[in-house]
Amino acid sequence: MSLAYDILPLTLVTGFLGSGKSTLLADVLRGDAARDTAVLVNEFGDVGLDHLLIGEVDARTVLLDNGCVCCSIRGELKDALATLFSQRARGEVPPFTRVVLETTGLATPAPIIATLLADPLIRSHYALNATITVVDAVNAAAQQARHPEWLAQVTAADRLLISKPDLVDDIHITELAASLAALNPAAEILIRRDVSSAKGINKHTGRALLDMLFASASSIDLIGRLGRALRLANQENEANQENEDPTTNGPLAHRGERYSTSAASIQSFCMQIDAPIDWQVFTLWFTMLLNRHGDKILRVKGLLSIAGSDQPAVLHAVQHLVHPVLHLDAWPSASSDPGRRSQLVFITEGLSRDAIETSYARFQHHLEEAVH
């Protein structure tokens, strides 16, 4: 395939001011592992790469000594991505095969994701692989309390990387990880020291960090996280009999209570649909749901059991934006799978689980009545 028509995986790295995004990128770029990687950053000075630079392609593009391409974004994201791809196609920069995009600390991911998913030019050259949010272990609580951008970054993540774990004790890390899991049950949570070498940064660290950045967001371990979320909800329901719902035997099983969060209006819950879904019916309902309540739906991620198919479909949406639907090759083994049921994690603001589940049940009911 010609370089001009390649579609390159792009990983979005976000996180609040001072969380450690720049340190992460600098560590990723050490050694030869990242030689075929392009990194887009906001300003070179923020990343501390001056000692690595060997040449300048133009006013905002430099080549690092290991062959990486590093660009600063001083205008529109669309223009920066298009320019970078054109330079690659013309042979003006090395033929990189993947891209890391770092956001500013105060950026909310949704507009950036919208550009990557909705713009025809960008979509023809880049595919959003995953969103990684770096979370500052020291300042996370204060940032969550004061800055709505922090919550937007956390809820949009496919992977949450806790930075600065050496500055707090293990109990603090455990509590922070539990809080993040409550806010975003569909995200994988990693601790920086577990990815990095305890003996310092080296070429093996760069390889491990790069692998972490570009692990697929549709990895099958999502089922395991959904299963754990459902089991936790079931345990809570058994301990709190007053919360049981008499309609759990219906086609839409109410098997998940609200996860506790410190933001009163934020809810995270797992919606489970036992019967295989009609794809057209579900798509129509979900489109209408996002059209009406997209501003209140921070994140949706999960797996769908489609009628007539043995392959689970991965659904991923951020507010009004829906990623291209992917199909996994197969369901996992029974040991990690609570059943071949549709399981969707919703993160909402001011929109209850009951409202969403009731909407789906009524939509199905009305369509059945219309058919008969």
Q: What is the pLDDT of residues 78-91, one digit of tens each?
A: 888 888 899 888 88
> Alpha-carbon distance 233 to 255, whole Å?
7
Q: Angle at which helices 21-28 and 203-214 pack, to 10 degrees?
A: 120
Domain co-membership, 133 together with 240: no
Of the three residues 152, 181, 214, the one that is the final residue of a domain is 214
Please report which confidence band the pLDDT of residue 243 belongs to, taking 50, 70 and 90 as the band edges. Answer: very low
CATH code, 306: 3.30.1220.10
Domain co-membership, 189 together with 272: no
Among 2-11, 172-181, 237-246, the range of highest mean pLDDT? 172-181
Q: What range does the domain containing 13 cover? A: 3-214
Task: Say yes or no to pLDDT of 263 above 70.
Answer: no
Of the three residues 214, 243, 272, the one that is the final residue of a domain is 214
> Alpha-carbon distance 330 to 220, whole Å?
9
Domain co-membership, 241 together with 350: yes
Q: pTM of the prediction? A: 0.77
Looking at the chain, the number of H-run helices and the number of E-run strands are: 13, 16
Domain co-membership, 194 together with 241: no
Q: How many CB atoms are located within 10 Å of the residue 1 CB?
A: 6
Give Cβ neighbours of residue 259 (< 8 Å, ≥ 6 apart).
Answer: 182, 183, 185, 229, 267, 268, 269
Task: Say yes or no to pLDDT of 330 above 70.
Answer: yes
From 289, 306, 257, select the one nearest 363 (Cα to Cα): 289
pLDDT given for residue 63 in this prediction: 58
* Number of domains, the chain: 2
Domain co-membership, 189 together with 252: no
Across 105-141, b (16+ Cβ under 10 Å) vs e yields: bebbbbebbebbbebeebeebbbbbbbbbbbbbbbbb
CA torsion angle 136 142 146 150 (round to 10): 20
pLDDT in tens, 216-226: 665 546 666 66
Domain co-membership, 279 together with 142: no
Domain co-membership, 169 together with 282: no
Q: How many CB atoms are located within 10 Å of the residue 264 CB?
A: 8
- Given a contact cutoff of 8 angstroms between Cβ atoms, the answer to whether 252 and 360 are in contact is yes
pLDDT in tens, 103-142: 888 888 888 888 888 888 899 999 999 999 999 999 999 9
Domain co-membership, 163 together with 270: no
User: Which residue do the tokens 């934006």 mark?
Assistant: 321
